[in-house]
């Protein structure tokens, strides 16, 4: 139920803002608006302004919306009202009215991002867990425990990193653009032992079929302390004498840096035929150093055996409160909106050129799923989700497809160059082609949605 409500409210807001952009610009340009509608299907609420005679409508299916303006191409227009018809407006006014919808979505995203950045949010500290063995991150010199303070891509200015989420976003963006990046890390809170590590992201495969680019890089998450948490009665951990809050220092003589590495060592504690392999753990309990023997119990996972000890491993990751002053929040929000727009457009181009898989295309089912998940976590994640979708909606509507705002802007560009509008014959052809492309995109997106939801 939360998913349905979060999806419906979010979509109604995003579509309402988009259509309101068209509506306000039309009014400002002197065009009469006949109907302002959010959604399709049965009418739930309806009101007509006695002053402007505009009909405001809320329908049952908030999967779209429209602003119907006075237009001689859609019906008879009284001579006294002809100056208020959309089709009689000069080119620059028609362009402003059409572009106002996507612009409204970008402005909404900036407002949402700025509000979150200003109010502040608790985020994970950018301290790296042990990288995947043999990965690019490990080969570049990362071992776990490094605190990332900044990064700089080739040809770009240095960017300060204040959270793990910010680090992940920047690395994802740079991986998709195939940019090498130098990250500056330190090994303690005093800033000592600060040094730079080069990550050759230009060599990283970013196709959707290859998986998450951050996982491909070898980054497994934020650093957490290698401690034992709750112990399951009768499990291997209890039989070995482990208790909650025991800190693991080494396994079979190998120093343990964090919980990620410890979990990997536990999983590796079996033979190929499913026998547990005894491990010698050195732990710290209070002020004492103890040696214990732990025998992971094998568990079949798909085609291989992995070790389990029946205990929660790792402490909660460190968090930091991130907030900005109003001016900095607005600047960061504008930059974020620009980066998300550029990355979204870049991904669309890669899908068209075959450099990225069409599996990256998501539809309403995935959006609804993430709407519910973000809303269940809290208001801030939900607002960030809405900002992301608002940017995506703005970018999508600017695509040069005849059914979208970008298609109309393409017509106006042609008109500005040639001095005449596109002929009715070509308008009809473009319209048919645009419908076919949009239906194809919708089919692929829904197919990807179903595939993801079914696992």
3-state secondary structure the chain: CHHHHHHHHHHHHHHHHHHHHHHHHHHHCCCCEEEEEEEEEEEEEEEECCCCCCEEEEEEEEEEEEEEECCCCCCCCCHHHHHHCHHHCCHHHHHHHHHHHHHHHHHHHHHHHHHHHHHCEEEECCEECCCCCCCHHHHCCCCCCCEEEEEEECCCCCEECCCHHHHHHHHHHHHHCCCCEEEEEECCCCCCCCEEEEECHHHCCCCHHHCCHHHHHCCCCECCCCEEEEECCCCHHHHCCCCCCCEEEEECCEECCCHHHHHHHHHCCECCCCCECCEEEEEEECCEEEEEEECCEEEEECCEEEEECCEEECCCCCEEEECCCHHHHHHHHHHHHHHHHHHHHHHHHHHHHCCCCHHHCCCHHHHHHHHHHHHHHCHHHHHHHHHHHHHHHHHHHCCCCCCCHHHHHHHHHHHHHHCCCCCHHHHHHHHHHHHHHHHHHHHHHHHHHHHHHCC
Using alpha carbons only, what angle is made at residue 384 by residues 382 and 387, rounded to the nearest 5 degrees? Answer: 110
pTM greater than the 0.75 cutoff: yes
Clarify whether 293 is annotated catalytic.
no
Q: Tokens in use for 115?
A: 């509000």
From 19, 74, 81, 156, active-site residue = 19
Burial 162-196 (b: 16+ CB within 10 A, else e): bbbbbbbbbbbbbbbbebbbebbbbeeeeeeeeee
pLDDT score of 176: 80
| pLDDT score for 455 | 63
Other CB atoms within 10 A of residue 424 CB: 9
**φ/ψ (deg, to 5) at 424:** -60, -35
Q: How many CB atoms lie within 10 A of CB 60?
A: 12
pLDDT of amino acid 439: 83
pLDDT for 65: 87
- Domains of the chain and CATH, by start: 89-120+325-455 (no CATH), 124-222 (2.30.42.10), 228-316 (2.30.42.10)
Angle between helices 164-176 and 326-353 in degrees, nearest 10: 30
From residue 87, give the alpha-carbon distance in Å to each of 30, 63, 72, 75, 83.
Answer: 12, 27, 7, 12, 9
How far apart CA 402 and CA 433 sit, in angstroms, is 8
| pLDDT at residue 8 in the model | 82
User: pLDDT in tens for each of the 455 residues of the chain?
Assistant: 778 888 888 888 999 999 999 999 999 999 999 999 988 888 888 999 988 889 999 888 777 888 999 998 888 888 888 999 998 999 999 999 999 999 999 999 999 999 999 999 888 999 999 898 888 988 998 888 889 999 999 888 898 998 999 999 899 888 888 889 999 998 765 555 678 888 888 888 755 444 577 888 888 889 999 999 999 999 999 999 999 999 999 999 999 989 999 999 999 999 888 888 999 999 999 889 999 999 999 998 878 899 999 999 998 888 888 889 999 999 999 999 999 998 888 888 877 777 666 777 777 777 888 788 888 888 888 999 999 999 999 998 998 888 889 989 999 999 899 988 888 788 888 888 878 888 888 888 888 778 877 76
By CB atoms closer than 10 A (0-12, 13-18, 19+), residue 453 is exposed
Q: What is the pLDDT of residue 263?
A: 92
Q: Which two tokens stand for residue 207?
A: 């196709």
The bridge status of strand 121-124 relative to strand 55-69 is unpaired
For 378-410, letters b (16+ CB in 10 Å) and e give eebbbbbbbbbbbbbbbbbbbbebbbbbbbbbb
Q: Would you tell me how many other CB atoms lie within 10 Å of the CB of residue 93? A: 17
């Amino acid at each position: 139920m939360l998913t349905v409500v979060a999806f419906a409210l979010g979509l109604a807001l995003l579509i309402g803002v988009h259509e309101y952009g068209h509506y306000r610009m039309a009014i400002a340009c002197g065009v009469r608006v006949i109907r302002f509608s959010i959604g399709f299907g049965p009418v739930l609420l309806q009101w007509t302004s006695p002053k402007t005679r505009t009909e405001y409508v809320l329908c049952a299916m908030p999967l779209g919306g429209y602003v119907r303006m006075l237009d001689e191409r859609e019906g008879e227009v009284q001579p006294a009202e002809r100056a208020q018809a959309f089709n009689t407006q000069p080119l620059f006014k028609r362009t402003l009215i059409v572009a106002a919808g996507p612009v409204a979505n970008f402005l909404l995203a900036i407002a949402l991002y700025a509000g979150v950045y200003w109010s502040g949010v608790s985020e994970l500290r950018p301290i790296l867990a042990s990288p995947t063995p043999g990965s690019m991150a490990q080969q570049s010199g990362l071992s776990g425990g490094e605190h990332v303070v900044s990064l700089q891509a080739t040809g770009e200015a240095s960017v300060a990193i204040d959270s793990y989420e910010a680090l992940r976003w920047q690395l994802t963006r740079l991986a998709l653009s195939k940019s090498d990046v130098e990250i500056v890390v330190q090994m303690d809170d005093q800033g000592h032992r600060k040094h730079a590590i080069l990550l050759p992201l230009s060599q990283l495969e970013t196709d959707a079929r290859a998986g998450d680019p951050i996982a491909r890089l070898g980054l497994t998450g934020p650093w957490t302390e290698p401690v034992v948490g709750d112990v399951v009665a009768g499990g291997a951990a209890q039989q070995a004498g482990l208790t909650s809050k025991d800190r693991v220092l080494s396994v079979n003589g190998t120093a343990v840096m964090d919980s990620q590495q410890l979990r990997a060592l536990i999983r590796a504690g079996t033979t190929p035929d499913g026998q547990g392999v005894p491990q010698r753990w050195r732990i710290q309990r209070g002020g004492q150093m103890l040696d214990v023997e732990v025998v992971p119990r094998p568990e079949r996972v798909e085609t291989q055996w992995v070790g389990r000890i029946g205990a929660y491993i790792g402490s909660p990751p460190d968090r930091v409160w991130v907030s900005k002053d109003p001016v900095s929040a607005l600047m960061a929000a504008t930059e974020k909106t620009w980066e998300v727009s550029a990355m979204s457009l870049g991904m669309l181009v890669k899908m068209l050129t075959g450099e990225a898989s069409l599996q990256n295309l998501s539809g309403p089912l995935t959006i609804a799923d993430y709407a519910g998940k973000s809303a269940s976590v809290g208001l801030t994640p939900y607002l960030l989700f809405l900002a992301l979708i608002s940017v995506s909606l703005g970018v999508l509507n600017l695509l040069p497809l005849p059914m979208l705002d970008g298609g109309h802007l393409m017509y106006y560009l042609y008109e500005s160059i040639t001095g005449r509008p596109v002929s009715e014959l070509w308008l009809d052809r473009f319209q048919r082609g645009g419908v076919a492309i949009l239906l194809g995109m919708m089919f692929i997106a829904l197919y990807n949605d179903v595939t993801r939801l079914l696992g």
